[in-house]
Structure 1
């Protein structure tokens, strides 16, 4: 199933609920259109820095291949690798651009298509909001919470056996 990341625009003092129509769902995985129409796809998605980087990379590779007197097969293979990377990293480029524009990643949704992802995300989001949950306060870079009290070591297992092994002396 496809995985979608959900991004919200920067909030400038307004309630996040008023900007839900502007949420962006970015599908993770290979992008066929970015693979086939790389520069055009970058312009269509308004990824200006990624487009400039793509052009600089393409020109630099062509200059290097010209200086090395590379044949047509080598040129084709190198450019095929570049367009394959464009198809594979298209979603990452979109997420990078959104984060540069101060958009927040609110969550990850697994669904069959974009509509199902939206429905699943907003169903979960409205349920969480009912318990006084504000997704803009979630710090995605923090370590996961633990149940241990500060200064105390974690509890030890109750038996000498660790994992899914049978207890010593019991029949199998």
Structure 2
């Protein structure tokens, strides 16, 4: 199943008003990025990545031409660059979003983008409703609250351990 990362602009507070601007980026191989690298980069408005791709390909082509490599080696280098572009296309999208101060909200696993949106918004709206119910005052890590009621042994708080040692030996340096 494909994995999607969900991104939102940092300028907003990720409220219900800004949900139309959320972006889902699919992780994995992008066939169109591999076949039509510069067009795919321009279509997704990844301008710095496009400039970097043009400079890198031109430098590799010029270096290989000056070294006198054959057409087969140049074709092989172009295929490797295309494969690299296909595999790293999602990373370039995420890099551009983070450079534009977008933040990653979640990671969703789904069959397609529509299912990913449905899963994300189900979780996200449940979390938004949970924020309205203020549970921040509840201490979930401490022992349960007790009342020291005279004559009831169950209500006495647990005693603190006498030594700091935890393990098989009750006293430091003692052997069994």
Structure-2-length-normalised TM-score: 0.74
Which fold has the larger relative contact order, with Cα–Cα distance below 8 Å and residues 6 or more apart in sequence? 1
1:25 counterpart SS class: strand
Does the residue aligned with 1:81 lie in a helix, a strand or coil?
A: helix
Cα shift readout 1:76-126 (whole Å, capped 9, x = no counterpart): 011110000000000000000000000010000000000000000000001
Structure 1 residue runs of 4 or more that deviate by more than 2 Å after TM superposition: 155-158
Contact between 2:5 and 2:24, CA under 8 Å: does it hold in 1?
Answer: yes
Structure 2 gap segments, 5+ residues each: 133-140, 143-164, 169-176
In 2, distance between residues paired with 1:15 and 1:66? 51
Structure 1, unaligned stretches of length 5 or more? 134-146, 149-154, 159-172
Q: Matches of residues 13-92 of structure 1 in structure 2 within 5 Å?
A: 16-92=15-91
Structure 2 residue 102 is matched with structure 1 residue 103? yes
- Aligned residue number for residue 10 of structure 2: 10
* Preserved contact between residue 8 and residue 14 of structure 2 (Cα < 8 Å): no
Q: CA deviation at 1:11?
A: 2.2
Q: Per-residue CA shift, 1:114-163, capped at 9, x if unaligned?
A: 00000000000011111118xxxxxxxxxxxxx79xxxxxx9789xxxxx
User: TM-score by structure 1 length?
Assistant: 0.75
- Mark the CA change 1:81 to 1:25 in structure 2 (over 3 Å): closer, same or farther: same
| Partner Cα separation in structure 2 for residue 8 and residue 82 of structure 1 | 30
Which residue does the alignment assign to 2:124? 125
Larger Rg: 2
Partner-residue secondary structure (3-state), 1:29: coil
- Mapped partners of 1:67, 1:74: distance in 2: 13
CA RMSD of aligned residues (A): 2.1
